[in-house]
Amino acid sequence: MSTRGLAVVGRDLGRILQVYAVMPAATIAVAFVWGEFYAAPALLASAALPLAVGYGLSERYADVTEPGKLHGMVIAASGWFLVAVFGALPFLLLAATMHAGLFGAPALNDTVAAFRHPLNALFESMSGFTGTGLTMTVHEDRLPRVLQWWRSFMEWVGGVGVIVLTTAILARPGSGSLTLYESEARSEKIHPSIVSTVRTIWWIFLLFTFLSVCVLWLAGMPLWEALNHAMTGLATGGFSVTDNSIATYDSVAIDFALVPIMLLGSIAFPVHYLALQGHLGDALDDLQTRWIVGFFGLGTLALTALLYANGVYAATGPVSALGVSLTGTGATVFQSFRYAIFQFVSAASCAGFQTAAIGTQWSAGAHLLVSLGMVVGAAAGSTAGGIKLVRVATLLKGAAFRIAGVFYPRSAVRSFRLDDRTLTSDELAREFEEAAIITLLWFVFLGFGAAVLLLTVDSSFTLENVLFEVASTQGNVGLSAGITGPEMPTPAKVVFLFNMWIGRLEIVPVLVTLRGLFYGFGVRRR
Amino acid sequence: MSSTLRVDWRASVSLTGRVVRWLTVPMLFPLALALFYGRGLKAILPAIAIAFVVGWGLERLHSDPAAALGAREGFLMVALTWLLISVVGALPYIFEGSFTAYGATSTLRLPVNALFETMSGFTTTGSTVMGDISFETHSRALMMWRQETQWLGGMGIVVLAVAILPELSVGGAQLMDAEAPGPGIQKLTPRIAETARALWGMYIGLTVLEIVGLYGFHQLGMAPEMTLYNAVAHGFTTMPTGGFSPEARSIEAFTAVVQWFIIPFMVAAGTNFALFWHVWNRDFNVVWDDIEFKTYLGAIGVLTAITAGLLFTTPGFDMLTNALEPSLRHATFQIASIVTTTGYASMDFNNWGQHAKYVLLFAMFIGGSAGSTGGGIKIIRWVVILKTLRRELFTAVHPEAVRPVRLGSTVIDEDAIRGIYAFTLLYLVIFAFGTLVVLLVGVPGQELSAFEATSAVAATLGNVGPGVGIVGPMNSFLPFPRASKLLMVFFMWVGRLEIFPVLVLLTHAYWRS
């Protein structure tokens, strides 16, 4: 990338920041609704700063050309990071306001005090915009309403962002991404496809959010909490406004109400689009959607069996659901199933809501089974994280194709079916290689994160705790075995920031950007 | 029936039978020891008889198997051979446990354990289920058979067959390709049988050199425990990167001199044997230019430095803390042992700090060089993967660019690259699922941690040998239930044959058109 390329990146980052500035500005309304007027100056400053920077950047490079797909990667990777940096401001400034007691702010409590440290604020913001849900907040219910909303809002917008990312920006052959319109996948211009993607999905997203709020409210959640959990559930983010995540409610109805919401978030949005247009059959034919059913089903069954065998919920008292009261073995089976389906769906959809004390109560096998769900993830083109099912499908089918083809002569023409597309050997080879590279990189960075954690965190955490936590971070899930928190060592926080970032952007764009930073963006051999 | 099948399985089985019949020849060595020591005859002699009869019987299935040997038959033959020799090779353990009074308490009298031990032997893994490693419950003859299985498996049974059986000189290249470690074989000579002979020649030479050296230290009074028996026994398991030892304490039983002396032989065993061929032919430039060799030495060096640093600085460890030579020796020995997938232990590394043990677990995934006797994923694959990742970062920005991946001066075929990716991912997938299953099955009456299960699967799939915790170097795989042991037998088998030759057999397209 030349200096002209850098200018394009700069101009687009400027535009992103200007749009972003709407977020803290809109949050001022929440401050007024809840009477937290002291938060307004902090939010105003958090909006003004990115607006000014963004305006400066876009004015400075106003006359550069439109970006191509190649710039898209660098813009996406650096944009995500930059937005996360500015997203830390409300935490930082509000904690400072409360510390100084300005504008009639209430006294600083321990939970908010953690955000006086910029790294904690950045962690929370990155966790939000990447839809992870790991948190530096000890007691969510002691946060000001404004910050509760800000965390949910970040995840909700980050959810839209990742759909745009995978369906419009990273959509290239073999990236495993579905495109909304075939023609746009081939276009070299990036802006039109983003605009049309956002236009198409924003009403789906709003509609689903509204439905989710209603469902949760009917299941017995207070309205404010229903709104926040609907936003973070659909975005498969996993931030919560209650102290113990969803375990706070200990309600069968709420557990089962959240499962379909998380499922909605893990199905590719182009498929939702098809379904809502009335092409239900086409939507059900989608390979990833079918794999979600199989994968989630199998995972839930295995986890249920495991929890039952381990006797985790053996000593539970009578449980009643839908008017039926269960006791003894029936109650144990039901409880095992309830926690298994919730936690496995929460893990594989990368939402990260928690109802069980995984780190302390569950066995090593259960840890690893849930970690498997987090590493695989759900559909590309949804808000979920992980390696994504379409890649797993490409890898498995490609490997089988390869093994079966050992005895064919090199010149033989064979075709291969993936989903409803028919690929030639060459196309398959390219898609396979792309999927293989991402998957392998995924493992490499999981290993890297685990290594740093093993060296830095308290040695009372076992290997399964560490693997679980890193898989959760890089898969943008947010389940925790108890390692993440404000007391976490600084190197671990830094490496988690990195893992969340590369996990969301599917690694390659971040590496391209970092390589550019270190070696320059010029076209160079080696 | 054979009209619908595309595989002439009779030819494959017949050839397998020939290998089994020839297995009686190396069994003559423990037989001689049994006669010499006057113990173990009841174990070895019936096994030889059965091996001969079974081999001879299977051979009858086809009149001219070598002529019918195509690619399909070759895969089947290689996979079957490794399975069958492990079954036949397990007989002496079972017989000694069943027919002798002193062996009645041997854990290997149970067929599953005997099969585990033999598969671990031939695949040069070195994981053991022998409960009491002593000459009380096992004859010296049987102990030597255990060592010898590793030596036979190291350079490859099929390579040996190609070297000595003239009828395999035509189809031998494909057979060796299916068996050889690493992606593809390098032909050293125009004729494949000569290549096989050259490989075995260098292998035998290095083994003899080590035995002479070890026994020499004994003669000089520097290694009192290293008797002639022990020298031969350890010579048999170093060059194949095996790791079995008739000493319960493995190499800890010997002096520091012996430990230092074994290190270069382990490193040599993990080196591509083609390099020794070039050295033999005074072609030194090839060695210096070999990127795999440099990476291999670099990996051992870096990991050794890290481990030695950890051992040296970890407080509270009398033997190692602030003791330079022991820290350096045990770090070098253990890293060389794990990276080359040998599996010897110079001390019980279970007692090391947690961080040093994590380094060892990491080292299990590197593996030896292609064309060596080492197991694991292999250095060359990691080199190619790293190079393609660098290319990916370039082509992500410049999709129109065409950049071949080179190793030295040769361009690597794109199809070979995809093969490497497919292998590495399959390896990791089998590893991950294997760990999960072993963990879920658990160990009766004991808590099995994820770290222990991970290391057990990594050690068997990578043909390394010992893991940590309950499968540590001074412990054994005995506590695992039968299902887990059989699963690990499978891991050792697919790990040694590098997955594809076994998986191919499981596809429909292989058997029928």
Question: With a cut of 50, which residues of chain B have pLDDT below it?
Answer: 1-3
Query: Which residues, 6 or more positions from A431, have their beta carbon under 8 angstroms from its beta carbon?
Result: A173, A174, A176, A394, A398, A418, A423
- Count CB atoms within 10 A of the CB of residue A195: 12
A512 vs chain B: nearest CA distance in angstroms?
6
From the list A368, A433, A463, which residue is nearest B418 (CB)? Answer: A433
Residue B415: list chain A partners with CB under 8 A: 410, 429
Cα distance between residue B466 and residue B484, in whole Å: 16
Contact B23, B51 (CB under 8 A): yes
B439 and A365 within 8 Å at the Cβ level: the answer is: yes
Q: Is beta strand B406-407 parallel, antiparallel or unpaired with respect to A421-424?
A: unpaired
What is the Cα–Cα distance from B79 to A54, expressed in whole angstroms?
Answer: 64
Helix (H, G, I), strand (E, B) or coil at A468: helix
Vertex B407: Cα angle to B404 and B409 (nearest 5)? 85
Phi/psi at A376 (nearest 5 deg)?
Answer: -75, -50
Say if CB A47 and CB A63 are below 8 A apart: no
pLDDT value at A117 more than 50: yes
Q: What is the pLDDT of residue B94?
A: 94
Cβ within 8 Å, pair A454-B358: yes
Question: Looking at residue B345, what is its pLDDT?
Answer: 93
In angstroms, the CA B409 to CA A28 distance is 64
Max mean pLDDT range (A8-12, A249-253, A448-452): A448-452
Residues in chain B: 513
Letter for the amino acid at A158? Answer: G
CA angle B304, B373, B47 (to 5 degrees): 125
B179 min Cα distance to partner chain A (Å): 15
B-chain CB neighbours of A437 within 8 Å are 388-389, 392, 421
Whether B396 contacts chain A with CB within 8 A: yes
Q: Which residue has the tokens 């971040």?
A: A510
Q: Which region, left, alpha or beta, applies to residue B8 given φ > 0 means left and ψ of -120 to 50 means alpha? A: beta
Q: Does B321 touch chain A (CB under 8 A)?
A: no
DSSP letters for B299-336: HHHHHHHHHHHHHHH-SS-TTTTT-HHHHHHHHHHHHH
Q: Per the domain annotation, does A66 fall within a domain?
A: no
Nearest CA in chain B to A434: B392
Which residue of chain A is at minimal alpha-carbon distance from B390? A526
Chain B CB contacts of A405 below 8 Å: 509
Q: Which pLDDT value is given to residue B231?
A: 95
Q: Rounded to the nearest 5°, which phi and psi values hold at B104? A: -60, -25
Taking CA A144 as the corner, what is the angle to CA A143 and CA A146, rounded to the nearest 5 degrees? 120
Token reading at A45: 């400053």
Cβ-Cβ contacts under 8 Å, A454 against chain B: 354-355, 358
Distance of CA A515 to the CA centre of its chain: 24
Task: Show Cβ contacts of residue B327 under 8 Å, excluding neighbours closer than 6 positions.
Answer: B308, B311, B312, B320
- Kindly list the distances between the CA atom of residue A245 and the CA atoms of A135, A214, A234, A481, in Å, as whole numbers in the listed order: 11, 19, 15, 13
Could you identify the residue written with the tokens 């429909």? B508
Instruction: Say if CB B55 and CB B154 are below 8 A apart.
Output: no
For A512, the closest of B388, B396, B448 (CB atoms) is B396
Based on the structure, what is the number of domains in chain A?
1
Residue A375 lies in a domain: yes
* DSSP 8-state secondary structure symbol assigned to residue B473: T
Residue A397 and residue A400: Cα distance in Å, rounded?
Answer: 5
Q: Which of B385, B398, B422 sits opposite A402 (nearest CB)?
A: B422
Place of tokens 């250095």: B379
Residue from the list B388, B396, B450 with its beta carbon closest to the beta carbon of A364: B450
CA A368 to chain B, closest CA, distance in angstroms equals 7
pLDDT (tens digit, 9 = 90+) per residue, A202-216?
888 889 999 999 999
Contact B138, B154 (CB under 8 A): no
Say which of A172, A463, A508 has its CB closest to residue B451.
A463
Indicate yes or no: CB of A436 within 8 angstroms of CB of B418.
yes
Distance from CA of A312 to the nearest CA of B (A): 14
Task: Identify whether A131 is part of a domain.
Answer: no
CB-nearest partner of B397 from A70, A406, A410: A70
The residues near A302 (Cβ < 8 Å, ≥ 6 apart) are A369
HEC readout, B378-411: CHHHHHHHHHHHHHHHHHHHCCCCCCCCEECCEE
- The string of pLDDT tens digits covering residues B341-397 is 999 999 999 888 888 888 999 999 998 888 888 888 989 899 999 898 888 887 777
Q: A436 lies in which domain range?
A: 344-508
Report helix, strand or coil for B431.
helix
Rg (CA), chain A: 23
Q: Is B7 helix (H, G, I), strand (E, B) or coil?
A: coil
pLDDT for residue A199 is more than 80: no
Strands A324-326 and A415-418: unpaired
CB contact under 8 A, B389 and A365: no
Residue in chain B lying closest to A439 (CA):
B425
Chain A residue at shortest CA distance from B70: A407
pLDDT computed for residue A390 by the predictor:
83
pLDDT tens digit string along A468-525?
899 999 998 988 888 888 888 999 999 999 999 999 888 888 888 888 777 765 544 3
**Does B439 contact A399 at a Cβ distance shorter than 8 Å?**
no
Q: Examine residue A473 and state whether it is found in any structural domain, yes or no.
A: yes
Contact A454 B399 (CB under 8 A): no
CA distance B294 to A21: 53
Q: If you search the block for the tokens 């520097």, which residue do you land on?
A: B222
Task: Report the SS3 class of residue B45.
Answer: helix
Number of residues assigned to chain A: 526
What distances in angstroms separate CA B511 from CA A200, B83, B506, one per listed residue? 50, 19, 9
Q: Nearest Cα to A201, choosing from A156, A249, A237?
A: A156
CA distance B29 to chain A (A): 40
Q: Note whether B439 contacts A439, CB cutoff 8 Å.
A: no
First to last CA, chain B: 14
- Taking CA atoms, B353 is separated from B127, B138, B333, B455, in Å, by 22, 34, 17, 16
B454–A73 C-beta distance less than 8 A: no
Tell me which of A310, A433, A458 to substitute to probe the interface with B (most B C-beta atoms closer than 10 Å). A433
- pLDDT per position as a tens digit, B95-148: 999 999 888 889 999 999 999 999 999 999 999 999 888 898 999 999 999 999
Token pair of A132 as six digits: 């992870």
Model pLDDT, residue A192: 62
The nearest CA of chain A is from the CA of B222 a distance in Å of 40
Q: Is the pLDDT of residue A7 over 60?
A: yes
Is residue A349 in some structural domain?
yes
For residue A417, tell me if it sits in a domain.
yes
Nearest-CB residue to B450 (from A405, A447, A464): A464
Distance from CA of B439 to the nearest CA of A (A): 6
pLDDT of the residue at A176? 38
pLDDT above 80: residue A416? no
- Say what percent of chain A tops pLDDT 90: 21
Find the residue in B nearest to A441 (Cα).
Answer: B389
What's the pLDDT at A449? 92
> How confident is the model at residue A421, as a pLDDT?
64
Cβ-defined contact of B396 to A73 (cutoff 8 Å): yes
Q: Which of A56, A51, A53 is nearest to A23 (CA)?
A: A51
Rounded to a whole number of angstroms, the distance from the CA of B356 to the nearest CA of chain A is 10
Is A358 a domain residue?
A: yes
- Distances A373 to A221, A295, A303, A426, A483 between C-alpha atoms, Å: 27, 9, 11, 31, 19
Distance CA A428, CA A416 (A): 7
Interface of B with A in 339-378 (CB under 8 A): 354-355, 358, 362
User: Mutate which of B354, B357, B389, B418 to test chain A, going by most A C-beta atoms within 10 A?
Assistant: B418
B344: nearest Cα among B362, B330, B328, B326: B330
Residues of B with Cβ-Cβ distance to A369 under 8 angstroms: 436, 440
- pLDDT value for B214: 95
The 3-state secondary structure of A125-187, one letter per residue = HHHHHCCCCCCCCCCHHHCCHHHHHHHHHHHHHHHHHHHHHHHHHCCCCCCCCCCCCHHHHHC
Q: pLDDT of A299-339, one tens digit each?
A: 999 999 988 888 888 776 777 776 677 777 888 888 889 89
In a domain, A414, yes or no: yes
Reported as a single tens digit per residue, the pLDDT across A278-304 is 878 777 777 888 888 999 999 999 999
Please give, rounded to a whole number of angstroms, the shortest distance from the CA of B390 to a CA of chain A. Answer: 8
- Please answer whether residues B349 and B356 qualify as being in contact, where contact means their C-beta atoms are separated by less than 8 angstroms: yes
Measured between beta carbons, the chain A residues lying within 8 angstroms of B497 are none
Query: Residue A448's CB: how many other CB atoms inside 10 A?
Result: 16
Q: Do residues B33 and B471 touch, judged by C-beta distance below 8 A?
A: no
pLDDT band at A177 (very low <50, low <70, confident <90, very high): very low
More confident residue, A241 or B167: A241
B282 touches chain A (CB under 8 A): no
- Closest residue in chain B to residue A429, using alpha carbons only: B418
